[in-house]
Amino acid sequence: MAVDPLIELRDVNKYYGELHVLRDINLTVGKGEVVVVIGPSGSGKSTLCRAINRLETIHSGEIQLDGQSLPEEGKALAKLRAEVGMVFQSFNLFAHKTVLQNISLAQTKVRKRRKDEADKRSRQLLDRVGLASQADKYPAQLSGGQQQRVAIARALAMEPKALLFDEPTSALDPEMINEVLEVMRQLAKDGMTMVVVTHEMGFARSAANRVVFMADGRIVEDRAPEEFFTNPNSERAKDFLSKIL
């Protein structure tokens, strides 16, 4: 199936000093696609996400969003960051602001929305992530799962073209993982383009169009979930799967 590419990485390389952390990465994420990235700790998954959002520079290669090369700095970079939302393992909410303020802030600052418009949209998004009644609480008054859903609502408030998730459920108690994955499944159904680093293999099987397996800074496999899980090609993937499944 040919899909319109939204995120494209071509021959991307990155080093931390001597460490070659991204090696000849070629990856295309089509509009509306959900790509799950898995792999051992230290394989470069977070660096890949951060490079897509220009939180990290790359040494060679090219990254495009919707046909445009990523800007390095200035206003264009701020716009890019608004267009590619990122959700981290640690929810990174502002502790001294309410849930509603957390979601409205960037809308008024970056998207230049009026406060009442921003708040209206924030409330709609809170409803979408099942937290309509929590608008006036502070992050510390919420569970981890609720905080992560607020972080997702905050990313959505920018109306991003794509969302990157870097282990969004790794810091959560087990009983809270599903409420976050459920919100992500719904986003996927609604057509959001998503790159998701996760160890939740159930999510990968049920929601991903493709699984990208990384090891030592390389993409070792890039395949449909069913094929990957039932019949991994590489020894690295077989070994990895035998440890986590």
* Residue among 70, 73, 60, 55 nearest 14 (CA): 60
Name the residue nearer to ligand ADP (CB basis): 113 or 165: 165
The CB-of-14 to ligand ADP minimum distance in angstroms stands at 9
The CB-of-49 to ligand ADP minimum distance in angstroms stands at 8
Name the residue nearer to ligand ADP (CB basis): 27 or 126: 27
> b/e map of 3-32 (b: 16 or more CB within 10 Å)?
eebbbbbeebebeeeeebbbbebebbbbeb
Q: Select the residue interacting with ligand ADP from 30, 44, 145, 225 (CB under 6 A).
A: 44
Q: Which stretch binds ligand ADP (CB under 6 A): 34-42, 110-118, 141-149, 185-193?
A: 34-42
The CB-of-218 to ligand ADP minimum distance in angstroms stands at 12
The CB-of-111 to ligand ADP minimum distance in angstroms stands at 30
- Look-up of token digits 């890949």: 48
Q: Select the residue interacting with Mg ion from 34, 39, 46, 225 (CB under 5 A).
A: 46
Dihedral sign computed on CA atoms, order 142, 144, 146, 149: positive
Cα(194)–Cα(111) distance, integer angstroms: 21
Residue 133 interacts with which of Mg ion, ligand ADP, none, CB < 5 to 8 Å by class: none
Burial class (CB in 10 A: 0-12, 13-18, 19+), 110: middle
Name the residue nearer to ligand ADP (CB basis): 23 or 161: 23
- Asked if 45 touches ligand ADP (CB under 6 A), the answer is yes
Residue 42 interacts with which of ligand ADP, Mg ion, none, CB < 5 to 8 Å by class: ligand ADP
Q: Which residues pair with 91 in a beta bridge?
A: none
Q: Which stretch binds Mg ion (CB under 5 A): 42-50, 108-116, 155-163, 225-233?
A: 42-50
Q: How far is CA 238 from CA 36, 226, 235, in A?
A: 17, 14, 5
Q: Which stretch binds ligand ADP (CB under 6 A): 14-22, 114-122, 129-137, 201-209?
A: 14-22
Q: Which stretch binds ligand ADP (CB under 6 A): 35-43, 100-108, 147-155, 223-231?
A: 35-43
> b/e map of 121-144 (b: 16 or more CB within 10 Å)?
bbbebbebbbbeebbeebbeebeb
Cα(116)–Cα(124) distance, integer angstroms: 13
In 43-98, which residue ranges form alpha helices assigned H by DSSP? Answer: 45-52, 74-83
Binding site for ligand ADP (CB under 6 A): 16, 19, 21, 39, 41-47
Binding site for Mg ion (CB under 5 A): 45-46
